[in-house]
Amino acid sequence: MSTRTRIPFLKGHGTENDFVIVPDPENALDLTPAAVAALCDRRAGIGADGVLHVVRSAAHPEARKMAAEAEWFMDYRNGDGSVAEMCGNGTRVFARYLQQAGHVGEGDLAIATRAGVKTIHIAKDGDVTVGMGRARLPEGDVTVGVGERGWPARNVNMGNPHAVAFVEDLAHAGNLFAPPSVGPAGAYPDGVNVEFVVDRGPGHVAMRVHERGSGETRSCGTGACAVAVAAARRDGADPAVTGTPATYTVDLPGGRLVITERPDGEIEMTGPAVIVAEGEIDAEWLENALR
């Protein structure tokens, strides 16, 4: 990680999807998978669903080509240390950190991610809206299963892969810290996020999610977007067909998000983002944790 004795960090969450935020503008830290996993350990570390590594785009080899569009790169890591393309709740928390640190103010900004440049709007009321881009709907039938139960699922890609299953009861998802079964074999060679969804009313659904590399989380922003896209197709409300935006309220264990898909395919996600603490990581502890 670093030879410094202390490494600054913050802790934040978006609808209780929580993150360790590591500011590192010049990309000076060697943030290994093992280091990320140690930081995210809820018993022996700080505890989080993932790490938001805050780097200037020009300083990171994966983001330099986006530096002209977005000054900051969200180098997102799952709780097990694996690299992820995108995290919707993380993007909102990332924007809130940039605001708190004085790098940006209210209004519009752009953030580079492995899924491309995302447009952000920080509202005066505190909510953050993220332009999530367009969903891709890969062809091919997929199924998800828990125990002896199984359901057909909609394959939705939001820059990261999702399998969305509509169920009668969210309790049928069982213990989502263990990944549900997904078929056919090989459908998701890099793993998949699995969402279980029930209806709450017109334009209103609730969900639980297993995030690859993290287990069940309190919220998943890209997952909420995938759910809204799947629900719109199921309900005959595809905006590209109707010419009218489709908006869904999505309840998650950690809170509520509002997802709107426009006729041009662009998807917006609006919800809260909170910084709850800041402090310093003891580098000696981290070195010992990695032995």
Residue numbers in the known binding site for substrate are 17, 78, 88-89, 160, 193, 211-212, 221-222
Peptide bond into 272 cis (omega under 30): no
Residue 128 and residue 107 in contact, taking contact as beta carbons nearer than 8 Å = no
Q: Where are the beta strands (DSSP E) in the chain?
A: 6-14, 17-23, 50-56, 72-78, 107-113, 116-122, 128-134, 142-146, 149-157, 161-166, 181-183, 193-201, 204-211, 215-217, 246-252, 255-261, 266-271, 274-282
Q: Residues forming the annotated binding site? A: 17, 78, 88-89, 160, 193, 211-212, 221-222
Structure tokens of 48? 């989080």
**Residues marked as catalytic:** 87, 220
Beta strands in 25-115 (DSSP E): 50-56, 72-78, 107-113
Give the amino acid at 287.
E
Measured CA to CA, the distance from residue 205 to residue 40 in angstroms comes to: 29
Q: Which residues contact 149 (CB under 8 A, 6 or more apart)?
A: 172
